[in-house]
Amino acid sequence: MNVENVEVKDLHFNYGKVKALDGVNLKLPGGAIGLLGPNGAGKSTLIKILLGFLTPDKGEGLVLGYDIKKQQSSIRRYVGYMPESDCLIPGMDAVSFTSYLGELSGMPRQEAMKRAHEVLFYVGLEESRYRNLETYSSGMKQRLKLAQAIVHDPKLIFLDEPTSGLDPRGRIEILDLIMDISSKKDIQVLISSHILSDIESVCSYVVILNKGELASQGKISDLKQINYSLYEIKAFENVERFIDGLRNIGCKVEQTTDKLIKVYLPPEKNPQDIISIAVEEKTQIRHFVKSQTSLEDIFAEVVGVD
C-alpha cells in the first residue's frame, strides 16, 4: 500500500474572482477518507483538480504518483470517479453502459463485458441489468454510478456525494458497499459528502475544507481526542451570562433547542473552569456530562458553527 496516494502542495484555484482553493496542502493515507466541508468549501473543485478536469492556478500535486498537471491520462486510467449528478448514456442498458466505460478505461472488450456483469451483481443491479437506463430510479442510478466507477478495478476511487437521493435503506446498502471496497487494503476511497454520519460510519480519516482552505485533517479518533473535550450541560438561572463567561475563557458554546448547552473545552482548560464560571455567575448546573464527540461536533468546532 502506498502511504500517500494523494499529495498536493499549495494548491490554488479561482473561479474568476472567487477563491475556490487557497493554498491547500494534503497528504492522504490509504483506506477510506472523508472530504468534508460546507457548500462552497472547495470539495468538488479539489476532486476535479485531482482528476485533471481542472488545472490549478498554482501549486502541484501527485495522484498515485502521477503529476496532476501533466499526467492526467495516467491518473484517470487508475482512478474511479462517481460523480454527484445523475449521468447516463440514453438508449443503453446497464451491462452495455458499464462495459463501455470499462473499455474506455483500457479494458479489453470481452473482459470489460465479463467484469460489467460482476460489478452489476456486486452493486445489486443483477435483476435490472438489461433494462434501459432511462427507466432507472434514483437509487438504481446511484448504484450504477458506483458500478462504472469500479468496473476497471481502480486503485483510488473518488465518490462525490455517493448517498445523495437515496432512501435510508439504499443509503445503508451503498455505505456497506463502500466499506467493503475500502476494506481491500490496496484501494483508497475518497468520499466527499455533506452527510457527516455517512463519513463517520465509513471513514477513519477525514479532511475538512472551509472557504477553500484546509481547516483540519487527521484520523477521526485523534481529532475527537486532541482538539477539545465536549461537555453537555443543562443549566438554570443566568444562563446567558454563564455562556458569555465560557466564551470569554475560549470555549465554543452551542445551545440546542432543548436547552442543552454543548461546551467545546480547549485542551489547556479543564472542567473545573466551567464549574468556577457557574459559581461566579450563580448558575445552577443540573446536568454535566462529558460527551462522546461525533464528527458533527468536530465539524462544528472546525468550521466554526456557534
Question: Can residue 107 be called a binding residue for another protein (CB under 8 A)?
Answer: yes
Question: Closer CB to another protein, residue 111 or residue 167?
Answer: 111
From candidates 66, 100, 242, 299, binder to another protein by CB under 8 A? 100
Question: Can residue 67 be called a binding residue for another protein (CB under 8 A)?
Answer: no
Residue 121 to residue 125: CA distance in whole angstroms: 6
Question: Can residue 85 be called a binding residue for another protein (CB under 8 A)?
Answer: yes
From candidates 43, 76, 129, 171, binder to another protein by CB under 8 A? 76
Question: Can residue 115 be called a binding residue for another protein (CB under 8 A)?
Answer: yes
If residue 98 lies in a helix (H) or strand (E), which one and from where to where?
Answer: helix 94-105
Q: Buried b / exposed e across 133-169, counting CB within 10 Å, b at 16+?
A: beebeebbbbbbbbbbbbbbebbbbbbbbbbbebeee
From candidates 153, 213, 232, 254, binder to another protein by CB under 8 A? 153
Sheet containing strand 58-63, strands side by side: 18-28, 6-15, 58-63, 66-67
Q: How far apart are the first and last CA of the chain?
A: 40
Question: Can residue 106 be called a binding residue for another protein (CB under 8 A)?
Answer: yes
Residue 255 to residue 261: CA distance in whole angstroms: 5
Q: By three-state DSSP, how is residue 33 classified? A: strand
Question: Can residue 168 be called a binding residue for another protein (CB under 8 A)?
Answer: no
Where on the chain is the footprint of another protein (CB under 8 A)?
14-16, 48, 51, 53-54, 73-74, 76-79, 81, 83, 85-92, 96, 100-101, 103-109, 111, 115, 118, 121-122, 124, 126, 148, 150, 152-153, 177, 180-181, 183-184, 187
